[in-house]
Structure 1
Amino acid sequence: MVEAASGAAGRPRFIVAALGITQIISWGSLYYAFSLVIHALASATQASNATTVGAFSVALLAAGVASAPVGAWIDRHGGRWIMAGGSVLGGALLIALPWVHSVAQLYLVWAGLGVAMAATLYDPAFAVLGQLFREHQRRAITTLTLFGGFASTVFWPLTQALIDHHGWQMALMVLGGLNLLVNAPVHAMLLPSRQAPPRDDSPKPPQPARPSGLRGIWRDPAFYGLCASFTVNALVFSAMSVHLLSLLQTQGLSASHAAWVGALIGPMQVLGRSIELVFLSKVHPSRIGVLAMWLLPASLVLLAVAGAQWAPLVLFALLYGCGNGVMTIVRGAIPAELYGREHYGAVNGAMATPVLLAKAAGPLAAAMALWLWPDPRDLLLLLALAGTVSAALFGYTVRRRAVLAAA
């Protein structure tokens, strides 16, 4: 049973489940739906697909810029009104999106949707859980990501069905309505305003020394090592998310077979999070992070040599999906493990900023690499090298900090 702070005592599972539903809607409508309306938006604005995709990159950039201020706000005022406001903003802009007629309008709307992402997706939700839960914030984070892992599974077919039967404009208005009529009320009614961190007087094992206050955290070299490793890791995953299907086809798979391999990754993310919840919940997040980080380059090397053979391709999807799924939990749990919960929102938001910027830059960086080295195996090995650097830096950072804390 997850223990909650006083305001949530007796209903922690209900709050996590409610937040889980809003995460499915937020991710499904603000993030995943874009890929299904690219061509329609390009036609409406008389722009190329590449220009239209750039609007989504602008959204991720805006989310990156807004993440740290959102986290700091939650530390001071709680998550109720910032997440409710983000849902209202996201819903209103999704309803407005079908009426854009120029590239400037398109980019402006998506910049606003990026701010809504910063206020409604995982990072603000993790900060809220940090204020609600005593001992088991990480378990709550894992449970929440299990919900979020089904966002694409639910919203890709739902959005496509709405487009097929009612048109893309009505589909976006329905998605906006879900944010306004479901997410905003749930956030406003169930989430707490700021409360003091709950006291827990039960005996605890000795804790490593932590930097005191935000100023001490900003001066900690480990903070920047972690940011760098998370950022490179996110850049690789982002590059692969856009180019995976085309890379699979260049290795000899048909479009449908490539789609099947890609479809395996979502369930494997959920599998990785389930394994973490059931078997690894007592292991320090930093140790799990070392394993998850190394799964990325291992999976990419495997993909580079797999060709069109199904067994190694399925193993690739297993390693890649599990690593990606667990990294979401690690990135949410690491700030509390290393720096406590008093400034969790600000620290987590600051770590999220370069990660979101990397997600925006990853597909472009991969496209430039393919232009320089057309062989897709070269791109996979280059990304594997980046993943190796990220994993090595993460491992060095957490080991170095443990040594300094014990000195």
Structure 2
Amino acid sequence: MKTINAPTFRNSILLGIAQILQWGGSFFLLAVLTKPIIEDTGWSHELVYGSLSLALLISGMLAPTIGKRIGEKETNNTLLYSGLVMALGLVLIAIARHILLFIFGWSVIGVGMAMGLYDALFPTLGKRYGSGAGKVITHITLISGFCTTIIWPAITLLLQYFSWRTTCLIYAAALVVFIYPLYRLAFRSSLKEEAKAAGSTAKMEIPSEPVHPGIYYLVMTSFTLGAVLMTGMSVHLIDILVNNNISLPLAVSLGALLGPSQVGARLMDMLLPGRSPLTTAVFSAAGVLLGFILLLCSQQVAFLGVIFYGLGNGIRTILRGTLPLHVFGPQVYANVMGRLARPQLIAQALTPFAGGFMIRKFGTDVFLEVLCGLAVVNVLLTISIRYFENIYIWKQARSLKA
């Protein structure tokens, strides 16, 4: 497949900034806005957060279609206009006086998430830069790892001077002003060069049985379990720490180690290249498992549990882009990424409800033990992926020699 030359680090910075703005205006928005929204409207916590779950569901349902479109179309405007769609959703949220309009606004944001977050960006990079996209993905995830570090304080500052509705309108304006130019600058190339690169991937379709179908379903299951583990920990980390006889202020402080740990893992992956994503996947899953085990132990090692989980999960974000590219190749990468995204996003949408129910019914310890069990399964899955992929490569080498 003919590809365009890999982007400069400057372009990776532009894409990273765009991702910070879009993740901050969607997935991470309610972490800061939920309290003022509930105080102003009287809507229940379940309805407000349920709107985000609906957005994730919609994003998951659209992901295969958008991935297929990215893989087949000669020109790809999905990313360019994703900011406008998200901004429209934020405007609807800001003007909502009834919960139904609020929910509809989040539905629109869900469409924007499908168009503009990692599950659309990574296939676009794979299509344009081929096997060289892995390095770019590492750079972007490193930069976007600072999303909550930048966006949460910024939104908090806006809330000191404006209502939550005005804050949403200001954020919508920022998306309109910045997202389109950032993507346009990052992907700037001559139309002739882009047409040549896209022409070789046009009309490409995933077969009814994916390439390496056994490995495909192993990767899909592993990624889905990873999404469940990530969401369960993100939503209930403070509950887990408090249940371990850690005070709430200290639990919040320990939770703050998560972001730097994830960014640190991505930085190490960038500075220590050369490992196969198959091997890195095993280390990532093992790090998450070790983190859960340490959190089950005494409170004295809880901080290590947060750090090891953060290291494993930080690498997982990179693997979402690099592992399918390594296993399935750039030719079908966009379509495969769309198909892989659907179960992950649906799992992310359902996990907070399932986790909350389990904690209320059986307690936090049982919930954490279930996460540990799922993490063990995920380690075995990553080992299996590595094993079967190596067997496939060995068989290919034998057939070529024959």
What is the TM-score normalised by the length of structure 2?
A: 0.90
In the other structure, the counterpart of 2:377 is: 389
C-alpha change, 1:51 and 1:233, in structure 2 (3 Å) is same
Where does structure 2 lack aligned partners over 5 or more consecutive residues? 200-204, 396-402
What's the offset of the Cα at 1:44? 5.1
Distance 1:12 1:132 in 2: 13
What's the offset of the Cα at 1:59? 0.6
Percentage of pairs with the same residue: 24
Map Cα deviations across residues 11-60 of structure 1 (whole Å, 9 max, x no partner).
Answer: 52222111111011111111212121113333555421112111110011
Distance 1:305 1:377 in 2: 11
Q: Secondary structure at the match of 1:30?
A: coil
Matched pairs, number: 385
Which residue of the other structure, out of 342, 353, 360, is the alignment partner of 1:364? 353
Distance 1:45 1:76 in 2: 44
Which residue of the other structure, out of 73, 79, 82, is the alignment partner of 1:77? 73
Matches within 5 A, 1:2-401: 5-6=3-4, 12-43=8-39, 45-77=41-73, 80-191=76-187, 195-197=195-197, 214-217=207-210, 220-279=213-272, 281-307=273-299, 309=300, 312-374=301-363, 376-401=364-389
What's the offset of the Cα at 1:95? 2.1
Map Cα deviations across residues 140-181 of structure 1 (whole Å, 9 max, x no partner).
Answer: 100000111001000000001101111211111111111100
Contact 1:44 1:101 (C-alpha < 8 Å) held by counterparts = no
Contact 1:79 1:191 (C-alpha < 8 Å) held by counterparts = no
In the other structure, the counterpart of 1:202 is: none
| 1:333 partner letter | T
Higher mean displacement: 141-150 or 240-249: 240-249
Distance 2:262 2:393 in 1: 33
Contact 2:74 2:198 (C-alpha < 8 Å) held by counterparts = no
What's the offset of the Cα at 1:132? 3.0
C-alpha change, 1:344 and 1:51, in structure 2 (3 Å) is same
Distance 2:335 2:322 in 1: 14
Distance 1:122 1:78 in 2: 20
In the other structure, the counterpart of 2:398 is: none
What's the offset of the Cα at 1:296? 1.2
Contact 2:60 2:344 (C-alpha < 8 Å) held by counterparts = yes
Map Cα deviations across residues 304-323 of structure 1 (whole Å, 9 max, x no partner).
Answer: 1132x2xx122112211110
What's the offset of the Cα at 1:64? 0.6
Contact 1:227 1:351 (C-alpha < 8 Å) held by counterparts = yes
Distance 2:44 2:183 in 1: 37
C-alpha change, 1:364 and 1:356, in structure 2 (3 Å) is same
- 1:403 matched to 2:396? The reply is no
State the superposition RMSD in angstroms.
Answer: 2.2
Contact 2:84 2:175 (C-alpha < 8 Å) held by counterparts = yes
C-alpha change, 1:132 and 1:218, in structure 2 (3 Å) is closer
Distance 2:382 2:114 in 1: 25
What's the offset of the Cα at 1:96? 2.3
